Structure 1
Amino acid sequence: MSFTAPSTINILESGLYSIEWEVFPLPPAEPGISVFALFADSVLVAGSNYGSRDDTNPYTGQVLASLSAGVALTLNRFDDTGGGVTLNPTIIGNPIINASVLIVKIG
């Protein structure tokens, strides 16, 4: 795998992947609902869309996905419930990692 800033994970080998992700947005002003999902070449990765109706987060998801070499993988907001999502850069003044993706090739 490789990474192309600001948001693309490049799959270099075909295979079955276990993917886990987390997003730590600031609580939205309206409404407290968001859905996030993984996309492979702009197509939804089946079973990767997770969301919450709660203002407390993080949002987390996991999926097993068969991906081909050359695929561009991204984690995006998937819903249409309002404005943009601002990621939380700190908790009680301490800097945090506000989004992460863990990918393990399992087959």
Structure 2
Amino acid sequence: MPKYLVQASYTSEGAKGLLAEGGSGRRAAVEQVVRSRGGTVEAIYFAYGDADLYCVIDFPDPLSMAAVAMTVRASGALQSRTVPLLTVEEIDEAARQDVDFRAPGA
């Protein structure tokens, strides 16, 4: 399954919800929304700094990730960034691909 790193920052309204529910409540909400599209949560970490929350999530396809991301962002409770993650083997396969490219000025 495709794997993603989600980095999220709570808005002030989202932070109020986090304070009310605690980390366990938000973890349950993340797990529920991910399961609703056939995905699984590998890890959830709260942090402080540039982002408030980091999740590593598996989805059966990119459209499931997009559907969840759009729905969650539309709530206005957070802003997020999703990074597709590739395995070492996937990078090996990509490195073997022929690509027709000319560098600028070459």
TM-score, normalised via structure 1 length: 0.42
Report which of the two has the higher share of strand: 1
Greater C-alpha radius of gyration: 2
